[in-house]
Amino acid sequence: MLFDESSTEQRIQTLAREFKYSGHTWGKTNNFAEVPVFLDSRASRLIQLADLVAYSLFRFHEYGDSSFYDVIQGCFDSEGGVVHGLYVRS
């Protein structure tokens, strides 16, 4: 998991450790490839891209604004009409 640098870094690191070793409501998280990584978005284009994707999803689901979502909608993995990697709660 990659995160933009923030004041919540220590709390997220603690949660990741708790999820791995103590578990959570749905069990334990066993398949982290790496610990959460925090990067300054001004120094990483990948973090900037992640911010833009998150913002487009936020605008679409919170405000019904599809102007950004329409640009990326076809980029999510899908097979047989089922979209993978994007969970939308009904």
DSSP 3-state helix, strand, coil percentages of the chain (rounded to 5)?
Answer: 45, 15, 45
Do 84 and 64 lie in a common domain? yes
Do 61 and 82 lie in a common domain? yes
Q: Which among 9, 6, 60 is positioned nearest to 35, based on CA atoms?
A: 9
Question: Among the residues of 1-90, which ranges form H helices?
Answer: 9-21, 45-63, 69-72
For 41-89, what is each residue's pLDDT tens digit?
A: 788 888 888 889 999 999 999 999 999 999 998 888 888 888 887 777 6
One-letter identity of residue 33: A
Domain count for the chain: 2
Do 49 and 87 lie in a common domain? yes
How many Cβ atoms from other residues are within 10 Å of residue 48's Cβ?
14
Q: How far is 69 from 58, CA to CA, in rounded Å?
A: 9
**pTM of the predicted model, to two decimals?**
0.58
pLDDT at 90: 63
Do 53 and 34 lie in a common domain? no
Q: Which domain holds residue 90?
A: 44-90
pLDDT at 63: 96
